[in-house]
Amino acid sequence: MTTTYDKPLPDVDDPDMGPFWAATRQGRLTAQRCADCTTLRFPATPVCGTCLSEDTGWVDVSGTGTIWSYAVYHRAFHPGFRGELPYVVAIVENTDGLHYTGRVFGPRSAVAVGAPVSVRFDAVTPQVSLPSWVVAG
């Protein structure tokens, strides 16, 4: 059986974010780490905003954190989301202090600012594994 994924897809070939998407395909959550000053950063950029170094590596980061804030979409601005309304999107602060945007799954009543969440990866196409967050019930 084949199904067509009909929601927006990220550009996995983006020169800055490509390594992030490659890691998600392996079930790893990552961030850039400046090779000179060691500052972690996400979203990815070609230059370290702390020391202006262009020498960058990627490291695995924590897959647990808390909901920093969230929104509940009751309207689909993209037709692919029509069948999933209402859906929850959050900015999650992981235990490394980094912020990641992602869908939140789990009981709606448990979704709150500060609620603990853990990452999961959904392989929506062969190239794209989306990091989402699960809130404990």
Partner 1 sequence: MSEVRGEVAIVGVGHTEQGEFPGVSPETLSVRAVRAALDDAGIDRSAVDGLITCKSIQGLNADVTVGPLLGISPPYSQTLDYGTCNFSLHLAVQAILSGLASTIVLCYGANARTVRFPFGAAPATLAGAAGLMHIAGPAAMALQRHKALYGTTDEQFGWIAVSEREWAARNPLAIFREPMTMDDYLAMPYMVEPLRRPDVTMLADGGVALVVTTAERAADFPHDPVYVLGIAEQSAIQGEQRPGYVMRPWLADVATRIWGTTGLKPSDIDALYIQNPTAVWVLQMLEAYGFCPEGEAGPWLAEGHTRPGGDLPLNTNGGQLSESYMWGWLHMVEAVRQLRGDAGERQVSGAEVAMYCSTQAWVKGGASILSTRT
Identify which of residues 1 and 75 has a Cβ nearer to partner 1 in the complex.
Answer: 75
Taking contact as CB under 8 A, which single stretch among the options 30-38, 53-61, 99-107 is the one that binds partner 1? 99-107
Query: If phi over 0 gives left and psi between -120 and 50 gives alpha, with beta otherwise, what is residue 31?
Result: beta
Q: In what order do the strands lie in the sheet with 56-60?
A: 40-41, 30-34, 56-60
Question: What CA dihedral angle connects 97, 99, 102 and 103, to 10 degrees?
Answer: 60
Residue 121 engages partner 1 in binding (rule: CB under 8 A): no
The conformational region for residue 38 under phi > 0 = left, psi -120 to 50 = alpha, else beta, is left
CA pair distance 74, 85, nearest whole angstrom: 6
- The footprint of partner 1 on residues 58-87 (CB under 8 A) is 68-75, 77-78, 81, 86-87
6 binds partner 1 (CB under 8 A): no
User: Look-up: residue for tokens 């594994």?
Assistant: 129
Q: Mark 16-55 with x for binding to partner 1 (rule: CB under 8 A) and - for no binding.
A: -x--x--------------------x-x-x---x------
Assess contact for 67 and 111: CB atoms under 8 A: yes
107 lies in the site for partner 1, by CB under 8 A: no
- Stretches 13-21, 32-40, 57-65: which one binds partner 1 (CB under 8 A)? 13-21
* Footprint on this chain of partner 1 (rule: CB under 8 A): 7-11, 14, 17, 20, 41, 43, 45, 49, 68-75, 77-78, 81, 86-87, 89-91, 93, 97-103, 112-114, 128, 130-132
